[in-house]
Structure 1
Amino acid sequence: MKDDFISWPDNQRKNVIRAGFYEKAGFPNVVGCIDGTHIRITGPSIDERSICRFTNISARWPGSAHDSHVFRTSAIGQHLENGYRGIGQGVLLGDSGYPCRQFLLTPYRQPAAGRGQARFNRRHCSTRSTIERTFGIWKKRFHILGSEIRMKPDKACRIIIACGILHNIAIMRNEPEVAEEQLIDNQPQMPPYNGPQDGKGIRDHFATTFFA
């Protein structure tokens, strides 16, 4: 059932997601936020690795793996690396542990004065807090994720994915007060961008266009 309930959004769903994120903190064109979270399991007796894949969950790596490596090797990381066609498709927000890429915007480490970079960082932080709150709700809903999974790693991975599926189902069944179809997308139009096709260039485009 994973692919039925945990999947990358289509274009229609992306428009709803963009509107929701813009409503939260005024950061335009965001289709998701990314981060890693640790879930305790009983250590394997040998060097076991098993793979099972929220829009996307990758539960294949031990806690020592760096978030950027987990993302780069995930299904969605590979999809964006090989199939991203520009900012019109939307961007993800990640913390400074990730590299700034054209499809993954990170905060400025030392924001320059007067160029919108500090405001970019504040809006970025406020928007990206969504993923931290989601992890908190997820772990409270399924207590096993906040304690320790005392099973072999391959079964622990399946449990984590199952909890992700059930979390998404729970959200789907909790009807919002305003139907998604009625959500007004009042974010500004994304202007054309013809600069360098890399994360830093696109991040500068966002900062100077929307936050200066």
Structure 2
Amino acid sequence: MEYFVEKYGIPGVIGCIDGTHIALQRPTENEHMFFNRKGYHSLNAMIICDHEYKILAVNSQYGGAAHDSFIWKHSDQRKYLEGQYRSSPSRSAWLLGDSGYPLEPWCITPYRSPGEGSSESTFNEVHSKARCVVERTIGILKGRWRILGYGKRGRYKPEKVARIANVCCALHNICITYNISYSPPSIRDDELDHTDLHHTEEASLLRAAQAIRNNIKNSICN
């Protein structure tokens, strides 16, 4: 939290979240579940990291057809953060995610279509700079372990590729801990659709998340 406050002026941040595709050869079962929007078969792995590029959580059990928001919605990490918020709404702890995730009190996302020069636009710029740590983390991970890299096609079944991804994340953290450096080029994933919230309880949580985001925006811009 201290890092994100000191560097970006954003309080309460415990990590950043993003999804990344791990390519596969065409599976023999449930092929449609692995065909992603970019036109190839993959797993869509959810990555949560801290400011030091350490991976705090990885979920690579879903096929490439699954949206980032869907994977997040069904993750243990979201359930935990939601539980923490519901037990103590005043507790300030959340992740930073891009527009592919729903705005929630435990996941802060950018404003949609802010006006040029507006405080919302300023917030989005700061948010983007802070959140790029997860893109950098994914870039280092895939650059170091080429079996996960862009353009590769794993010859194993999806379940084994998911286990390989988990092991690579653990090895990545070991490398970070012992300062084994690697600097791949920056890589960004395609933006995914935002999931609208319709139910009454979800709308209430959305308003709470909007209030949190507005407070952060005001603290940055004032």
Q: TM-score, normalised by structure 1?
A: 0.74
Decide whether the 8 Å contact of 1:115 with 1:208 is kept in 2: no
CA deviation vs aligned residue, 1:153-196 (integer Å, no higher than 9, x gap):
111110000000000111111299xxxxxxxxxxxxxxxxxxx8
In structure 2, relative to structure 1, the CA distance for the partners of 1:24 and 1:149 (3 Å cut) is farther
- Tell me the amino acid that sits aligned with residue 164 of structure 1: C
> Among residues 197, 217, 222, which one is paired with 1:207 in the alignment?
217
8 A Cα contact 2:9 2:220, kept in partner: no
Alpha-carbon distance between aligned partners in 2 of 1:107 and 1:78, rounded to the nearest angstrom: 22
Query: 4+ residue runs of structure 1 moved beyond 4 angstroms?
Result: 112-115
Q: Which amino acid aligns with 1:152?
A: K
Identical aligned residues as a percent: 39
Give the alignment's Cα RMSD to 1 decimal: 2.8
CA contact (8 A) 1:102 1:202 kept: yes
The match for 2:184 is none
Deviation at 1:113, TM superposition (A): 7.1
Q: Tell me the alpha carbon deviations over residues 43-93 of structure 1, each in whole angstroms, 9 at most, x when there is no partner.
A: 32112899x992111101111111011111111011112232336342211
Matched position secondary structure for 2:216: helix
SS of match in other structure, 1:39: strand
Residue in structure 2 matched with residue 67 of structure 1 by the alignment:
68
Match runs of 1:31-42 below 5 Å: 31-42=14-25
Which secondary structure does the structure 1 equivalent of 2:14 belong to? Answer: strand
The 1-side partners of 2:21 and 2:169 are apart by 14
Partner of 2:195: none
Aligned pairs for 1:143-154 (under 5 A) are: 143-146=146-149, 147-154=152-159
TM-score by length of 2: 0.71
Secondary structure, in 3 states, of the residue corresponding to 2:141?
A: helix
3-state SS, counterpart of residue 15 of structure 2? strand
Once the two structures are superposed, residues 113-159 of structure 1 have per-residue CA deviations (whole angstroms, 9 ceiling, x without a partner) of 78632211110000011111111111011010012221011111100
Q: Which one has a larger percent strand, Structure 1 or Structure 2?
A: 2
Which one-letter code corresponds to 1:198 in the other structure? A
Kindly indicate whether residue 4 of structure 2 is the aligned counterpart of residue 21 of structure 1: yes
Query: Which residue type is aligned with residue 107 of structure 1?
Result: P
Instruction: Give the structure 1 partner of residue 176 of structure 2.
Output: 171
Please give the secondary structure, in 2, of the residue aligned with 1:110.
coil
Distance 1:87 1:32, change over 3 A: farther
Structure 2: segments with no counterpart, 5+ residues: 34-42, 47-54, 182-205
- The structure carrying a bigger helix percent of its residues is 1
- State how many pairs are aligned: 176
